[in-house]
Amino acid sequence: MAQVKVTIDGITLEVPKEYTVLEAAQKANIDIPTLCYLNLHETSMKSNKASCRVCVVEVEGRRNLAPACVTPITEGMVIKTNTMRVLKARKKIVELLLSDHPKDCLVCTKAGDCELQNLVEKFGIRNSSEINKGEQSTYPIDQSYSLIRDMDKCVMCRRCETMCNQVQSVGALAGVERGFKAIVGTAFNKPIMETVCTHCGQCVAVCPTGALTERENIDEVVKAIANPHKKVIVQVAPAVRVALGEDFDYPAGSIVTGKMVAALKQIGFDYVFDTDFAADVTIMEEGAELVSRIEKVLKRETDVKLPILTSCCPAWVNFYETQFTDLLDLPSTARSPQQIFGAIAKSYFSEKMNIPKEDMVVVSVMPCLAKKYEVERPEFNHDVDISISTRELARLIKQMNINFESLKEAEFDRPLGESSGAGIIFGTTGGVIEAAVRTAYEKITGESLEKIDFYELRGFEGVRTATVKAGDLEINIGIAHGLKNARMIMDEIRAGNPRNLHAIEVMACPGGCIGGAGQPYHHGDGEILQKRRQALYKDDVANEIRKSHENSEVIALYDTYLKTPISEKAHALLHTYYKAQERI
């Protein structure tokens, strides 16, 4: 790579010529402050609209200040990042932002996690008269089951817009109006619930301020626990345990399952279960569906189609219900693990423990905001009553005066607490399909799978394909994470499936559930996602049981209750249907 010599604040260094001033400064260990800029190298997310102007620097020979985030370096460039002119300008910029920003930081959801607040603190902005002058924007609050849009707090960084359009290709959010009234809005200012929004919440994950936040449901959980007539059951999704620690200052990738379970018990949940158990059930159902569809297609029966699409991700379900309404016969009809858990808890477990389901409150802890939306889908009859995010769980633990670090590790309760390694890797891109293959292989061949790790299905590329051999059968598998990648692969299917894919796994969030919008904020550090992912694979290997169909509690569930996968009972409880959604 060709190198270019630049001088930044007196430090001369050589950097690749493709670098921007910001990247060159990072190389020189100079921290130029940024606000709108976000680059998650690990995914395709890069937002560099250069709209906030916080990162401006002085470039010798240039008339005005240059935004470091998008200014390419040139040979011999002399840059100054901390002159009086620069300091004054960037301070003024933040003052301007504050002048049109609510001052209710004390009670803002984002307090302590707000990137604007951090800049105010960093720049030492104290003069309250400057920031209180002039008209303030006021917009009505708009909310869905998943998220809240408080546009008074928007700083027009447009990260959400980049995420929604470039990364997710959903197109629910875009800049509207102009001048002082310019804001990120929906088509025709419709409520977000009436738009094509998938509620994936990735906009929330990248919003630097409190303009986009999750809808909180902690209070409902506390209320349920406080009610002596209710048995409160909690299920925890796989990706939560590898991220929750971050909110308690553990390094990214720490597996805190034991402490998490202990905390949940201390909070007062009557039963602490694992969504991984439901993930194993999902595999039983989805795996059986896959095998049955392949067999039918091989027999040239025409009532089923391939490829089968995974259906565990609720944002992905929302996406294809709005965008691929002509292909609604492709997804697996299996419910998501969250809903499978809810259905089993309120039938099998309710009967087994003799707890009337009316007296039961099922809470889920999810890395996800779309799960909040899924909970409200009428077809699921509130099998799951409340869904909270990883961040909300951290907040709840703190509210309950629990010292997380000093907790003694505890184990999930039985029977819905047993899980396999296959269930654990549901939390990362490629995990669901690997789990399915582990089971499908043995079902198809009747042989025991020796090499359990399917490395060919792992990775971080947006779209991946691999062929897995099961006996004489070659199964062509596609994997996509991030909805734009999903759209690409679906466009291919719509165009006749030229690569003859048999099964496709899709996760709406870049990275899968580890990158879910309910996880602790990554603040642009994409490495965090990689560490969470590695932790999941580590946890898989640590598990003695690594195939869903070997989970003894799952075997018991089928033996005593459901009989076989895709049986009539299983169908009624664990499967769903899809309908086209006309949205804008």
Partner 1 sequence: MSKYTMHILVCGGTGCMSSHSIEIVENLKKYIAKTGMQDIVQVLRTGCFGFCEKGPIVKILPDNTFYVQVKPEDAEEIIKEHIVKGRKVARLLYTDPTTERHISDSKHMEFYKKQMRVALRNCGFIDPTNIEEYIARDGYAALAKVLTMSQEDVINEVKKSGLRGRGGGGFPTGLKWEFAYKNKSDQKYVVCNADEGDPGAFMDRSILEGDPNSVVEAMAICGYAIGAQKGLVYIRAEYPLAIKRLEAAIHSAREYGLLGENILGTSFSFDIEIRFGAGAFVCGEETALIHSMEGKRGEPTTKPPFPAASGYWGKPTNVNNVETFANIPVIFLKGADWFNKIGTEKSKGTKVFALAGKINNVGLIEVPMGITLREVIYDIGGGIKDGKKFKAVQTGGPSGGCLTEKDLNTPIDFDNLIAKGSMMGSGGMIVMDEDDCMPAVAKFYLEFTAEESCGKCTPCRVGTKRLLEILEKIVAGKGTEGDLVTLEELGNTIKDTALCGLGQTAPNPVLSTLKEFKAEYIAHVRDKKCPAGQCSALLSYMITDKCIGCTACARNCPVNAITGVVKKQHTIDQSKCIKCGACINKCKFDAIIKG
Residues annotated as catalytic are 286, 289, 312, 332, 371, 374, 379, 513
The verdict on 85 binding partner 1 (CB under 8 A) reads yes
Residue 159 makes contact with partner 1 by CB under 8 A: no
**Is residue 135 part of the contact set for partner 1 (CB under 8 A)?**
yes
Distance in angstroms (rounded) separating the CA atoms of residues 48 and 449: 47
Per CB under 8 A, does 171 bind partner 1? no
What is the nearest approach in angstroms of partner 1 to the Cβ of residue 184? Answer: 10
- Contact yes or no for 419/276 (Cβ under 8 A): yes
User: For 157-208, what is the HEC assignment?
Assistant: CCHHHHHHHHHCCCCCCEEECCHHHCEEECHHHCCHHHCCCCCCCHHHHHCC
User: Between the CA of residue 298 and those of 26, 287, 291, 445, what are the distances in Å?
Assistant: 56, 16, 10, 16
For residues 139 and 189, what is the distance between their CA atoms, to the nearest angstrom? 11
Part in contact with partner 1 (CB under 8 A); list of ranges 114-122, 179-187, 383-391, 444-452: 179-187
Tell me 75's DSSP state.
Answer: T
Q: Is 125 in the site for partner 1 (CB under 8 A)?
A: no
Q: Binding to partner 1 by residue 117, rule CB under 8 A? A: no
Distance CA 119, CA 257 (A): 35
Determine, following the binding rule CB under 8 A, whether residue 56 of this chain makes contact with partner 1. yes
**Residue type, position 346, single letter:** K
In the range 301-320, which residues lie near partner 1 by CB under 8 A?
none
Stretch that binds partner 1, among 143-151, 171-179, 413-421, 556-564 (CB under 8 A): 171-179
The Cα diameter of the chain in Å comes to 79
Distance separating alpha carbons of residues 374 and 369, to the nearest angstrom = 9
- What one-letter code names the amino acid at 141? I
Contact region with partner 1 (CB under 8 A), list: 86-94, 341-349, 430-438, 484-492: 86-94
Do residues 371 and 338 lie in contact, with contact meaning Cβ atoms separated by under 8 Å?
A: yes
Strand order of the sheet with strand 386-389? Answer: 271-274, 231-236, 360-366, 386-389
Q: Work out how close the CB of 130 gets to partner 1 at its nearest, in angstroms, rounded to a whole number.
A: 8
Q: How many positions of this chain bind partner 1 (CB under 8 A)?
A: 36
**Helix, strand or coil for residue 465?**
strand
Q: Does 103 bind partner 1 (CB under 8 A)?
A: no
Interaction between residue 166 and partner 1 (CB under 8 A): no
Nearer to partner 1, 99 or 465 (CB): 99
Interface with partner 1, residue 88, by CB under 8 A: yes
- Tokens 């240039």 locate to 62
What number of residues does the chain have? Answer: 584
- Residues 207/109/105/175 CA torsion (nearest 10 deg): 30
Residue 156, interface with partner 1 (CB under 8 A)? yes
Exactly one of 45, 108, 120, 155 binds partner 1 (CB under 8 A); that residue is: 155
Pick from 102, 171, 175, 258: which binds partner 1 (CB under 8 A)? 175
Half-sphere exposure of 69 (CA within 13 A, CB side): 18
Q: Does 148 bind partner 1 (CB under 8 A)?
A: no
Window 542 to 581, contacts with partner 1 (CB under 8 A) = none
Decide if residue 92 touches partner 1 (CB under 8 A). Answer: yes
52 binds partner 1 (CB under 8 A): yes
Q: Tokens for 200, please give them.
A: 């994936």
Q: Residue 207: exposed, middle, or buried by beta-carbon count in 10 A (0-12, 13-18, 19+)?
A: buried
Which of 64, 138, 302, 354 touches partner 1 by CB under 8 A?
A: 64
Q: Which of 133, 229, 299, 451 is close enough to bind partner 1 by CB under 8 A? A: 133
Does 138 contact partner 1 by CB under 8 A?
Answer: no
Q: How far apart are CA 210 and CA 106, in angstroms?
A: 12
Is 75 a residue that touches partner 1 (CB under 8 A)? Answer: no
Should residue 496 be labelled a site residue for partner 1 when binding is judged by CB under 8 A? no
Cβ of residue 136: shortest distance to partner 1, in angstroms?
Answer: 11
**Nearest distance from residue 508's CB to partner 1, in Å?**
25
Q: Is 100 in the site for partner 1 (CB under 8 A)?
A: yes
**Best CA proximity match to 566, nearest among 286, 275, 278:** 286
Nearer to partner 1, 19 or 460 (CB): 19
- Of the candidate residues 22, 45, 97, 483, the single one contacting partner 1 (CB under 8 A): 97
Shorter beta-carbon distance to partner 1: residue 103 or 499: 103
Cβ proximity to partner 1, 56 vs 416, nearer residue:
56
| Given 33, 67, 314, 478, the residue binding partner 1 (CB under 8 A) | 67
134 binds partner 1 (CB under 8 A): yes
Give Cβ neighbours of residue 370 (< 8 Å, ≥ 6 apart).
146, 198, 199, 200, 201, 313, 314, 315, 318, 508, 517
Give the Cα separation of 465 and 511 in Å (integer).
Answer: 16
The answer to whether 52 and 93 are in contact (CB under 8 A) is: yes
CB of 175 to partner 1, least distance (A): 5
Distance in Å, CB of 43 to partner 1, minimum: 22
Under the binding rule (CB under 8 A), the answer on residue 438 touching partner 1 is no
Alpha carbon distances (Å) from 30 to 55, 189, 226, 456, 469: 12, 41, 51, 39, 51
Site string for partner 1, 262-291 (x = CB under 8 A): ------------------------------
151 is a site residue for partner 1 (CB under 8 A): no
The nearest distance, CB 100 to partner 1, in angstroms, is: 5
Q: Are 423 and 280 in contact (CB under 8 A)?
A: yes
Place of tokens 């889908």: 377
In the numeric block, the tokens 């089993």 are attached to 344
When the beta carbons of 57 and 317 are compared against partner 1, the nearer one is 57
With contacts defined by CB under 8 A, name the span among 47-55, 245-253, 431-439, 500-508 that binds partner 1: 47-55
Candidates 64-72, 229-237, 392-400, 570-578 — which segment interacts with partner 1 by CB under 8 A?
64-72
Return d(Cα 43, Cα 33) in angstroms, integer: 22
- Minimum Å gap between C-beta 51 and partner 1 is 5
126 binds partner 1 (CB under 8 A): no
Binding site for partner 1 (CB under 8 A): 49-54, 56, 64-65, 67, 70-72, 85, 88-89, 92-93, 96-97, 99-100, 133-135, 155-156, 174-175, 177-183
